[in-house]
Amino acid sequence: MTQAEFLDRLARIRTALWQGVRTPHKPLLLLLALGRVAQGRKRLVAFASIESEFRRLLVEFGPPRNARHAVYPFGRLRNDGLWEIPGDEALATTSRGDLYAKELRERSIVGGFPREVYQLLAANPSLVVAAAEQLLARYFPSSHHDDIRVAAGLRWDWSVTQRYPERPDSAAFRIQVLEEYERRCSICGFDVSLDDRTLGLDAVRLKWSSHGGPNDVSNALAACLLHQRALNRGALGIQPDRSGYRVLVSGKVAGSSAATARLLDLHGRPVSRPRTPALAPSASFVDWHRKWVFQTPPRLEATA
């Protein structure tokens, strides 16, 4: 197998579409396995020892309310030619061909990249980077990438990463969003500029581009980096009210600092509106974000 063949196979993994959303299970398991290669760990890992780590990634980076079954991708990646479970012919399967988590745990069943793939990756560190970046770009918004790299154990030298840059957001889109929101965070009003250029402000999409969200102002908010991150991780959401939208803070947000208290206080506050009323966030994108990204339940019922 050549490097190009491997990347091609990776690009063709079949991911289930569930209510229009590509499920992140296989990509996250692959990222975890790539992280193991990058750390020089063994090719095969017991399901039982990877299960909780994998589940944590699913909870953290998968859209909420999605099934968090760690066992499905562990078995199904075999169909993509990217996974091997030695001795799997002796394992029981469900009517849909899935394995049983209980059996995998109890019998200490191991799985991992097929030997040929593992050897190719182990011999080519830049291929590990390319593969991980390909998965990140395809399945996750760019503001998640750093967190996922760290969580999957994929820390590498920035100079290597530079060779696989993410496709940047369209500059025109970003500028249009920032101008519509008068170069302020729509959540907190943050408007620092340095030498007349914004600092730490960006356009954040409500419906992720990896899931078909367009580069439209009506699919975006201007947000400071903290609130961009909070929106993308579902710590914050927005909800319609009579005059526009208001901020929702997830009930899962915790912390004891004054900065955390400021974040919690955003709950129920109005979201700023764009200069052009017709470019306000459209209901379908707001609904998508609420449904798939926001970490329910909200902190407390905001009053209209």
CB of 189 to Zn ion, least distance (A): 7
Q: Does 229 bind Zn ion (CB under 5 A)?
A: no
CB of 185 to Zn ion, least distance (A): 3
Q: Which is nearer to Zn ion, 131 or 188 (CB)?
A: 188
Per CB under 5 A, the segment of 86-94, 114-122, 191-199, 218-226 that binds Zn ion is 218-226
d(CA 32, CA 37): 9
CB of 249 to Zn ion, least distance (A): 13
CB of 278 to Zn ion, least distance (A): 24
Distances (CA, A) of 175 to 127, 148, 172, 206, 211: 34, 27, 5, 17, 22
Q: Which is nearer to Zn ion, 10 or 266 (CB)?
A: 266
Q: Does 187 bind Zn ion (CB under 5 A)?
A: yes
Q: Which is nearer to Zn ion, 127 or 224 (CB)?
A: 224
Residue of the chain from 227, 246, 289, 290 that contacts Zn ion (CB under 5 A): 227
Per CB under 5 A, the segment of 38-46, 140-148, 222-230, 294-302 that binds Zn ion is 222-230
Distances (CA, A) of 246 to 243, 269, 304: 9, 5, 9
Q: Does 188 bind Zn ion (CB under 5 A)?
A: yes
For the segment 158-177, give every residue that binds Zn ion (CB under 5 A).
none
Q: Which is nearer to Zn ion, 22 or 184 (CB)?
A: 184
Q: Which is nearer to Zn ion, 186 or 210 (CB)?
A: 186
Q: Does 238 bind Zn ion (CB under 5 A)?
A: no
Q: Which is nearer to Zn ion, 14 or 262 (CB)?
A: 262
CB of 148 to Zn ion, least distance (A): 22
State both tokens at 277: 């009323």
Q: What is the DSSP string of 125-180?
A: HHHHHHHHHHHHHHHS-HHHHHHHHHHTT----HHHHTTSPPPPPPHHHHHHHHHH
CB of 294 to Zn ion, least distance (A): 17
CB of 200 to Zn ion, least distance (A): 9
The residues, ordered by sequence, that sit 6+ positions from 194 with a Cβ below 8 Å of its Cβ are: none
Residue of the chain from 113, 190, 285, 294 that contacts Zn ion (CB under 5 A): 190
Q: What is the DSSP string of 255-302?
A: --SHHHHHHHTTTTPBPPPPSSGGGSPPHHHHHHHHHHTS-SSBSSPP
285: closest CA among 22, 16, 20?
Answer: 20
Q: Which is nearer to Zn ion, 86 or 189 (CB)?
A: 189
CB of 172 to Zn ion, least distance (A): 23
Angle at CA 34, nearest 5°, toward 63 and 55?
A: 35
Q: Which is nearer to Zn ion, 6 or 190 (CB)?
A: 190
d(CA 293, CA 153): 23
d(CA 135, CA 132): 5
Residue of the chain from 185, 238, 247, 263 that contacts Zn ion (CB under 5 A): 185
Distances (CA, A) of 219 to 89, 245, 250, 253: 47, 13, 21, 24
State both tokens at 109: 């069943």
- Please name every residue paired with 270 in a beta bridge, in sequence order, or none if there are none: 246
Which residues in this chain contact Zn ion in the complex, by CB under 5 A?
A: 185, 187-188, 190, 224, 227
